[in-house]
Amino acid sequence: MEDRRTLFRKLHEADGAFIIPNPWDVGTARILAAMGFPALATTSAGMAFSLGKVDGAASRDEVLAHCRAIVEATPLPVSADLENGFGDSPESAAATVVAAAGIGLAGCSLEDHTGDRARPIYDFDLAVERIEAAAQARRSLGHDFVLTARCENFLWGRRDLDDTIRRLQAFEKAGADVLYAPGLGDLDTIRAVCAAVTKPVNVVMGLPGATFGVAELAEAGVRRISVGSALARLAYGAFVGAAREMRAHGSFGFAKGAMGFAELEGFFTRATKA
């Protein structure tokens, strides 16, 4: 386990940018591991969809059980999307870090989204206090753990780059190891965020709008690239398309694109041996 945590830290310290894809169950985690990705991150939305729930509706116990299953599925380090840390207070953020580390995660992200659509973003001071408490909890662990602090402004209609940078800078000062502002839509904005902080920056690809390659993002200063719920949404899109074909047309042309047993099971065999 210590090797996983050490590896995860070192990935952020290496030159360039690395991709940390987001599986939503044990099978997809093992496929990604077999394909050679160096680390994995959970997706709160993908996990919720797999339970038949909307994003944010899974309980704390459900989320932690899911994270434990992903950790145990492969030898890779795993960082968890833990949304707002199951509560509004700094104490809940700290408790979440301790719980996350206790199930073997190599890191987690905490966001300043409240879960309340009427007031979607925590007030600045409370947002910073939450990351300060989480960072203090991380320092008390006795082993490494990568804390990612997320500013959710751009996902909730607050396209204020100055406030986003102000929050990320405050999160860095509060002790976050990685900074993350999902929803940045162009390279100039991404470059501005990366230039404004000294800690590694995560960006997410796969949201609606422009996408950029690893080389472009690395040149802009990005260190880590995740895809959030994009892989899960892609898979569900293919599933729904197939179901619609059967229901509307009584045909089964979708099966031409289905992966064969040998190829699919080969991923699981390689992941198990690894």
**Residue 210's pLDDT band (boundaries 50, 70, 90)?**
confident
pTM of the model: 0.96
Residues in the chain: 274
Contacts of 269 (CB under 8 A, 6+ apart): none
pLDDT for 270 equals 81
Residues in CB range of 50: below 8 A, 6 or more apart: 24, 25, 232
Structure-block tokens of residue 229: 């719920």
- Residues 92-130 have pLDDT tens digits of 999 999 999 999 999 999 999 999 999 999 999 999 999
Q: What is the pLDDT of residue 1?
A: 63
Q: Give the mean model confidence (pLDDT) for residues 175-203.
A: 98
Region 257-267 average pLDDT: 96
- Tell me how far apart the alpha carbons of residues 201 and 94 are, in angstroms, rounded to a whole number: 22
Q: What radius of gyration, in Å, describes the C-alpha atoms of the chain?
A: 19
Contact 192, 166 (CB under 8 A): no
Could you tell me how far CA 230 lies from the centroid of its own chain?
A: 11
Nearest residue to 65 (alpha-carbon basis) of 102, 114, 111, 110:
102
**E strands in 119-274:** 146-150, 178-180, 201-204, 224-226
Evaluate if residue 273 carries a pLDDT over 70.
Answer: no
Number of structural domains found in the chain: 1
Q: How does residue 164 score in pLDDT terms, banded at 50, 70 and 90? A: very high
Give the structural domain span for 26: 2-273
Are 43 and 51 within 8 A, CB to CB? no
Q: What is the pLDDT of residue 272?
A: 65
Token duo for residue 204: 């997410």
CATH of the domain at 178: 3.20.20.60
